[in-house]
Structure 1
Amino acid sequence: MLTRRLLLAAGAASLAAPAAAQVVTRLGPEAEQLTILSDGGFEMPLAMLAREVPTDAIAAETGPADPYRTVLNVTCLRRGAELILFDCGAGAHFLPGSGQLQESLRAAGIEPEAVTHVLFTHLHPDHFWGALDEFDSPLFPNARWLAAAREIDFWTAPKVYEQLPADRHAFAAGAQRIARGLGDKLERLQAGGEWLPGIAAVETAGHTPGHVSFAFEAGGQPVMVLGDALTHPRISFAYPEWRPASDQDADVAVATRRSLLDRLSADRTIAIGYHLPGAAGRVEKHGPAYRFTAS
């Protein structure tokens, strides 16, 4: 479980290794280009990568470093007059080491006014809290902001605190603050259909109740922006049955991972993970499980 103690430990560790703003990678032709931008990163205890798995077993898969450092990748799709972001980072109020998106946008030559759409995989802090600037105004003033109705309903419900452990109440309070700041600009859509022409929201619940991933084509290749449906470059693929502490419904998340891995490997999809080093790669069958190979 993602507790306040673990978050504070992660935050303290992150102070020692701040991440630089950067363009992680670019994929595809200029007319339909994917640019993956860093929002920095933070560190967390190895124990968070899998509930009820001994730390030494986790370390055998990840290496001995504890805490473990995770990256934050924000995907940008430019096609014609559209400039689409998938999630928008943590902003200034999450863990030290995160919140680097504005600097990465500058490094990529992208002005906030040019962003036309922001599509959210889910409303966790490192994906949603970057929506507002330092003046609590929408960071991208000309954008449409799109999120799953089920996800919005969960985090903004008055009784959400009754459905969460006390140590995750800050997630709900932050989500409600950002949702209020966006106001009517935050559009509610249903998973399972196209949110924009050619971009489908695929239901990938488990990590959160309304988590979605986004499937589309770019440069003639199938692409899926995964959000947090797959979060570790080794464990999520080799051990999809392991249960990360950040998954809200662990059983549903396991089923989602297995289904996604089957689909991604069968379709030879370019998979883009918010927390995967290198961000983009392919999923391949590997014995009884899978492996991820970064592009």
Structure 2
Amino acid sequence: MLTRRSLLAAGVASLAAPARAQVVTTLGSEAERVTILSDGGFEMPLSTLARDMPAAEIVAQAGPSDPFRTPVNVTCLRRGSEVILFDCGAGAHFLPGTGQLAASLGAAGIDPEAVTHVLFTHLHPDHFWGALDDFDSPLFPNARWLAAAPEIDFWTGNKVYERLPADRHAFAAGAHRIAKGLGEKLERMAAASEWLPGIAAVETAGHTPGHVSFAFRSAGQEVMVLGDALTHPRISFAHPEWRPASDHDAERAVATRRSLLDRLHQERVLAIGYHLPGAAGRVERDAAAYRFVPA
């Protein structure tokens, strides 16, 4: 089992108190409802927001709170008989303050047995490790579990440890454990394709090698579940060229942010961010960059 010591070695320290389970927000109609659920949150050092940037510049954009708190938002789409989750939180073995999804589902009146699909943006701990319960069985026993084939190949490949710095080896070990627990239930999907009717995966690699976001229509509007393509409510929008420490391929992540921000702005998409306070909002132009405006 992964220990707190190994997780701290992975470069993410948590000082957060346990978060209260909650429904963050609800959008759309009863026939096609988007519910954003809290899996809690954790704290990270300001320095992780941008590699090689002076601390004063980071503080000027993000504020002086160090460490800063990042929420964990899990999106649920209910349409007809389908109950679709986009990612499934951190589970019990990541960081204190996370692992609240099961309680939040209860608060929203969603039975785990009713969940029909879980679609993964990527396989980082706070998105993937919640797939198994305390007995290492799938938390949603009747669900299909879908992830991009390049993402599965990277995290479960024999050479993953060679392709990661030592402080990320715990992430790979956890991904191996969860993937093994899901077994053949974990379905491999093409990164840029329609995974379910009306729900298309959008390639947004960089944060991880096979990262995807998800685009669909709900209540007459375009919606995109971003995962970790945009992670900070100020810096990701005002400075897409800054390189967070959590990005696997920094340059590709920069290119992804720039093209994604332009699309979200031009197409007036309702964006849902896994780590954005309030989760849902619009992208607006702000001089030469952008800003996030909560819905």
Scaled by the length of structure 2, what TM-score is found? 0.97
Give the CA deviation at 1:6.
3.5
Q: Where does 1:107-186 land on structure 2 (aligned, <5 Å)?
A: 107-186=107-186
The residue type paired with residue 80 of structure 2 is: G
Residue 243 (structure 2) pairs with residue 225 (structure 1) = no
* 1:4 counterpart = 2:13: no
SS at match of 2:130: helix
Distance in 2 (alpha carbons) for counterparts of 1:238 and 1:141: 41
1:95 partner amino acid: L
Q: RMSD of the alignment, in Å?
A: 1.0
Give the unaligned 5+ runs of structure 1: none
* Corresponding residue SS for 2:24: strand
Match for 1:112: what amino acid?
P
CA 1:57–1:247 in 2, change beyond 3 Å: closer, same or farther?
same
Partner of 1:190: 190
What code does the residue aligned with 2:241 have? E
TM-score (norm 1): 0.97
Residue 3 of structure 2: aligned partner: none
Kept after mapping to 2: 8 A contact 1:6/1:44: no
Equivalent residue, structure 1, for 2:47: 47
2-structure distance, mates of 1:3, 1:247: 17
CA positional deviation for 1:5: 6.6
Please tell me whether the aligned partners of residues 215 and 224 of structure 2 are also in contact (alpha carbons under 8 angstroms): yes
User: What are the superposed Cα offsets for residues 32-87 of structure 1, whole Å, 9 maximum, x if unpaired?
Assistant: 10000000000010000110111121111111110010000000000001000000
Code of the aligned partner of 1:216: F
Counterpart residue identity of residue 258, structure 1: R
TM superposition shift of 1:184: 0.3
SS of 2:41's partner is strand
Mark the CA change 1:263 to 1:3 in structure 2 (over 3 Å): closer, same or farther.
farther
The letter of the residue matching 2:119 is L
Q: What is the distance in 2 between the residues matched to 1:45 and 1:277?
A: 17
Against the structure 1 CA distance between its residues 189 and 5, is the aligned structure 2 distance closer, same or farther, given a 3 Å change threshold?
closer
Q: After superposition, where does 1:205-224 map in structure 2 within 5 Å?
A: 205-224=205-224
- Whole-Å Cα distance in 1 between the matches of residues 162 and 99 of structure 2? 29
Alignment-derived partner of residue 4 in structure 2: none
- Whole-Å Cα distance in 2 between the matches of residues 111 and 27 of structure 1? 19
Letter in 2 for 1:60: A
What code does the residue aligned with 2:265 have? Answer: S
Q: Cα deviation per residue 1:167-215 (whole Å; 9 max; x = unaligned)?
A: 1000000000000000000000001110000000000000000000000
Amino acid at match of 1:162: E
How many aligned positions are there?
289
Q: Any idea what the Cα deviations from partners look like across 1:118-157, whole Å, max 9, x if unmatched?
A: 0000000000000000000000000000000000000000
Deviation at 1:19, TM superposition (A): 1.4
Rounded to whole Å, the distance in 2 between the matches of 1:106 and 1:51 is 39
Q: CA deviation at 1:18?
A: 2.3
